[in-house]
């Protein structure tokens, strides 16, 4: 295996990734790098052979890692990248800070970022995917992000440079977000806490929060506003077209389209990444046959198929 730079953080060869994803599937990364701090990350990427691919991975909440694993270096930020600071109505959050923690900390300080409370995952992924809920999106509150390029340069990016769109940005896949800054409206801490409690109750009543899922599987198929943002009040929802196609409860191996909410692809026990992805593709085929709608994946799928599994 190619010689890699020696960092101060942790560099682990052939690291299985299944335990690091919410769906609990996935083969090994050639290398898993957990940097000690920003300088460690920057120095490592500067010294790393440019031919070696890099994949920044968050908490694995919106991810299928294929059974053959990921070639190159997977970068996972941990302690040192999860701080949350409040300065007036400005919230500065490390990329590894959980969305829910940022929402709570902000609310305690009288800043309304409550829409983040029920979004699974961490801030880095929320920025990269322009996460949103209840009609509010990261793009609505984003000020800037500090990132590390593939070549190890630390730079700051503006909203225009990220080019926010529905569930996506223009951020290169090998660029590592390390911190983001948001502005939120002011609010009463008790009222904000009550809002988040209400959001959690509604989520738990309508979504399979105790099952092994990766959040919403497919993007809602319509409802773009003139600004390019998505309208959460749109009538056409992914779960509805999946249900209408008869795919609620559909199974493949250990994978199932959740009976409580059919837009939640679920590892019901023993599923492989291939089971999950292939069931998702079958759902897309059935929905297209039934409604002429081409569903788009919201879950990110990365890595290589298992070379021993010809069905992938």
Three-state secondary-structure class, residue 144: strand
- In tens, the pLDDT along 145-167 reads 999 999 999 999 999 999 999 88
CA distance 242 to 144: 37
pLDDT tens-digit profile of 30-70?
Answer: 999 999 999 999 999 999 999 999 999 999 999 999 999 99
Strand 28-34 and strand 70-76: the pairing is: parallel
Question: Could you list the active site residues?
Answer: 167, 216, 298
Give the dihedral of Cα atoms 32, 38, 42, 44; nearest 10 deg: -40
- Per the prediction, the chain carries an average pLDDT of 92
The predicted pLDDT at position 233 comes to: 46
Q: In what order do the strands lie in the sheet with 265-267?
A: 251-252, 255-257, 265-267
Chain centre distance of CA 2:
29
* pTM for the structure as a whole: 0.90
Instruction: State yes or no: pLDDT of 171 exceeds 80.
Output: yes
pLDDT score for 311: 45
Could you report the per-residue pLDDT of 212-267, keeping only the tens digit for each? 999 899 999 864 332 333 444 456 899 999 999 999 999 999 999 999 999 999 99
User: What domains appear along the chain, each with residue ranges and CATH number?
Assistant: 10-76 (3.30.43.10), 84-190 (3.30.465.10)
For 169-180, letters b (16+ CB in 10 Å) and e give bebeebbbbbbb
């Amino acid at each position: 295996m190619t010689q890699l730079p020696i960092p101060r953080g942790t560099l682990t060869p052939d690291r299985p990734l299944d335990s690091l994803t919410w769906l609990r599937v996935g083969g090994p990364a050639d290398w898993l790098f957990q940097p000690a701090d920003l300088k460690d990350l920057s120095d490592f990427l500067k010294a790393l052979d440019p031919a070696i691919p890099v994949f920044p991975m968050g908490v694995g909440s919106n991810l299928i890692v294929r059974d053959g694993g990921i070639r190159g270096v997977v970068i996972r930020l941990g302690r040192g990248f999860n701080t949350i600071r409040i300065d007036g109505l400005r919230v500065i959050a490390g990329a590894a800070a959980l969305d829910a923690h940022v929402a709570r900390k902000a609310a305690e300080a009288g800043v309304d970022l409550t829409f983040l409370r029920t979004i699974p995952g961490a801030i880095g992924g929320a920025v990269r995917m322009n996460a949103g809920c209840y009609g509010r999106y990261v793009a609505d509150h984003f000020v800037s992000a500090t990132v590390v390029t593939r070549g190890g340069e630390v730079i700051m990016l503006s909203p225009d440079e990220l080019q926010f769109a529905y569930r996506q940005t223009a951020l290169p896949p090998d660029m590592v977000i390390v911190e983001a800054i948001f502005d939120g409206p002011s609010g009463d801490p008790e009222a904000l806490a009550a809002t988040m409690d209400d959001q959690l109750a509604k989520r738990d009543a309508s979504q399979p929060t105790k099952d092994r899922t990766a959040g919403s599987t497919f993007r809602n198929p319509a409802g773009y506003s003139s600004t390019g943002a998505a309208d959460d009040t749109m009538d056409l929802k992914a779960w509805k077209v999946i249900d209408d196609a008869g795919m609620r409860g559909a199974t493949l191996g250990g994978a199932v389209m959740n009976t409580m909410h059919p837009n939640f692809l679920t590892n019901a026990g023993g599923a492989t990444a291939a089971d999950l992805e292939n069931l998702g593709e079958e759902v897309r085929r059935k929905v297209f046959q039934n409604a002429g709608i081409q569903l788009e994946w919201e879950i990110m799928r990365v890595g290589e198929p298992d070379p021993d599994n010809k069905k992938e």
